[in-house]
Amino acid sequence: LKEWEPEIPRYLLELIRNEGLKNGLNSDGCLCGKVKWEENPLHIYRCVDCFDCNLHCQECLLHHHQSNPFHTVEHWNGRHFETATLYELGLVIHLGHSPLLPCIGHSNVQKFTVIDTDRIHLAAIRFCRCSHTIPDRYQLLRAQLYPATLTAPQTAATFRFLKFFQMLSFMSKVCDLLIIHLLCINNKLAGVCDRVLFYLGKNVR
């Protein structure tokens, strides 16, 4: 511990640095070259789940997350980063086709609640409706999303969450209510947690 003590001020600086814009590897502007931060100080976003420390404009953030729609993102409000959501920023998940080559005959956007390992997300989903279409619940399963109902599902859990929950309940006997409440701590979207608890048949209040 004595050896580490002189490092305390620098460690604190590095940790605080992560809270601001200076930790971004591209502190002048977005990598697309279209957006300069000095001219657009309120158009800065970052992802806390992606390994890179790049700052993005909204367009690039959405483009980079077509294949990672359940990442947690943040928006620079001029003073600090605050949690944003890919759903509210306009990300649409296309099922049945490659994310970058969506179905040409897709459905309307359907609002979903998706339970993942670190939080509960809202998601805008479009189903395939072209000649390759299959029932929606199978399209969800093929995207590793387990639908809550057989018909007209509006809630799903990621396979990753189900495996995590299974392991947690085997090892620690944690109950479903506790883990949903834990995920809700990370969630500021009004009504989302209530909807999940309703599906689990739990009292909302």
Report the nearest approach of Zn ion to the CB of residue 1 (Å).
35
Contacting residue, 21, 40, 60, 199, with Zn ion by CB under 5 A: 60
57 binds Zn ion, rule: CB under 5 A: yes
- Count, residues near Zn ion per rule CB under 5 A: 13
Q: What is the smallest separation between the CB atom of 107 and Zn ion, expressed in angstroms?
A: 10
Residues 13-32 within binding reach of Zn ion (CB under 5 A): 30, 32
Q: Which of 113, 115, 201 is nearest to 157 (CA)?
A: 115
Helix, strand, coil percent values for the chain (each to nearest 5): 30, 20, 50
For position 52 contacting Zn ion by CB under 5 A, the verdict is: no
Burial class (CB in 10 A: 0-12, 13-18, 19+), 16: exposed
What's the min distance (Å) between Cβ of 183 and Zn ion? Answer: 18
What are the angstrom distances between the C-alpha of 173 and each of 98, 116, 169?
38, 19, 4
The binding site for Zn ion (CB under 5 A) comprises 30, 32, 47, 49-50, 57, 60, 71, 96, 103, 128, 130, 132
